[in-house]
Structure 1
Amino acid sequence: MKITWIEHSSFLLELPERVLVLDYFGKTRLPLPANKPVTFLASHHHADHYDKAILEHGTDQIWYVLSRDIFGPQDEHHIKVKPHQRYELNGMIIETLKSNDEGVAFMIEVDGWRILHAGDLNDWHWEEENDQDRQENEVLKRRFDRELERVAGRTFDLAMIPTDPRLNDGYNRGLLGWAKVCQLGWIAPMHTFGENDVIDRLLQDPACAELRSRILDLRKGPQVLEDPQR
């Protein structure tokens, strides 16, 4: 698999027989590889995860898997998804979790790969200034933990997980939560809002020491990942 980090939470995954584009947003057309079917997946409607411009690529060997909160067409090429469901599409199995913010997280089985794109499902622990802030953090944490309970024990060969620098010291809480209950192969940090030096912080963070060798630094450009079946 060739993985390209476009920006923020947007990735292009090129497999031998297909291409996946996850949470793309932007105003220019993507340079999609020729002669391969393409599936766009969008976890929710937020402007940093979805842009209706993707629909301009049409439906010739192109499919769209969109969270149901995204307005737009719904037909055999435009599939609307909701949380806690299982879908089969073109030889892929796509399962969804419920985000504790908006929309869904994606779990994808495709061509021997088990892939997680967490969307906005994260341990959103914001700085607390009062009791209301504390209570809101507790609600978000309970919702996050409830989703992790559903997938405890699973293995993901590639996991794209938020490491949001706006959370300050809590930037890695979500990643550590996933790593506690699931087996993670390659890890692609995301949801960085352009503050991509958060990857350096991850690589130097003692709390992430056991994960360090699996954290991808995609600032350097696309990387080719080994087939997990080898």
Structure 2
Amino acid sequence: MQVRIVHIFHNCFVIDAGENCYVFDIPADRFRSKKVLSALQESLAGRKVTVFFSHSHLDHFAPDYREVCASAASLQAVISDDIEEMYPDLDFSDALIVEPDEKYDFHELEIETLMSNDLGVAFLFSDAGGLRVYNGGDLACWDWETASQNELDFTRSFFRSAVDRVVDYGVQIAFSNVDRRLESLAGGGELARAVKPQVFVPTHSFGRTQWLQGIHERMGIAEENCFIYRRIGDVQSYDIQV
């Protein structure tokens, strides 16, 4: 299966997989420059689009996502339940609202959710073509130096359990936070080495991407298995074995 992965901004990426496009965590307008909006709309133009929103933080959720995705031929949304609670005045009647640690059939997708240790959920999903994807949202190994030993133990154990679930699911593409402020890189390398996806995509850059050059070496994975991007709209094609 030929897929294209497009970097939009921060945790927002597009998987272009034949007639379907999967989009993750479109940010609110305060995080969207004209280049970000243009790259996103160009990637979705005329396509059958499913957008996933992991939680309600505005770097991960655009309340105006319908307008932002107007170039798509069709649009369906999978939305964490904390977003519905945070935005009671928005109409989500046509969206799939998901809770943590549940399974859903949604059109041609099979979706599983994992509880995040930040807010909302992480996603595992498979489509009719056999593509299997993990997108972590803000689920990560947030082992900050200021945390107590009990907090560190809980965080690391929680993350290891999440990694085990992703391993069992057998994903070909994995998106996970890689944070340079943490020695552990927020667990990105740990997940990549355990899951061994055909493509690992580091996320949560807030537009600061230069430091990602060579990140595969620090994570201990092969360069060809890591999508290393620099600019808004950077794209890489992959032949995914399903």
Distance 1:47 1:133, change over 3 A: farther
For residue 65 of structure 1, what is the aligned residue in structure 2? 78
For residue 157 of structure 2, what is the aligned residue in structure 1? 142
Instruction: Tell me, yes or no, if structure 1 residue 42 matches structure 2 residue 56.
Output: no
- Could you tell which deviates more after superposition, 26-35 or 1-10? 26-35
Instruction: Tell me, yes or no, if structure 1 residue 84 matches structure 2 residue 101.
Output: yes
Aligned length: 221
The alpha carbon displacement at 1:180 in A equals 4.8
The whole-number CA distance in structure 2 between the counterparts of 1:195 and 1:85 is 34
Question: Paired residue for 2:117, among 65, 78, 100?
Answer: 100
For residue 144 of structure 2, what is the aligned residue in structure 1? 126
The whole-number CA distance in structure 1 between the counterparts of 2:169 and 2:54 is 20
TM-score by length of 1: 0.85
RMSD between aligned alpha carbons?
2.3
Structure 1 residue ranges (4+ consecutive) displaced by more than 6 angstroms after TM superposition: none
1:112–1:228 Cα contact (<8 Å) kept: no
TM-score by length of 2: 0.82
The whole-number CA distance in structure 1 between the counterparts of 2:47 and 2:167 is 34
Question: Paired residue for 2:173, among 134, 158, 173?
Answer: 158
Higher RCO (C-alpha 8 Å, min separation 6): 2
1:199–1:217 Cα contact (<8 Å) kept: yes
Question: 3-state SS of the aligned residue for 1:52?
Answer: coil
Identity within the alignment, %: 27
1:163–1:198 Cα contact (<8 Å) kept: no
For residue 24 of structure 2, what is the aligned residue in structure 1? 22
The alpha carbon displacement at 1:60 in A equals 6.9
The alpha carbon displacement at 1:198 in A equals 3.2
Encode CA deviations 1:138-170: one digit per residue, 9 max, x unaligned. 222222223234344332111111101222x22
Encode CA deviations 1:51-104: one digit per residue, 9 max, x unaligned. 1121324697211111000033332x2111011111122211111111111111
Structure 2 letter corresponding to 1:119: G
Question: 3-state SS of the aligned residue for 1:153?
Answer: helix
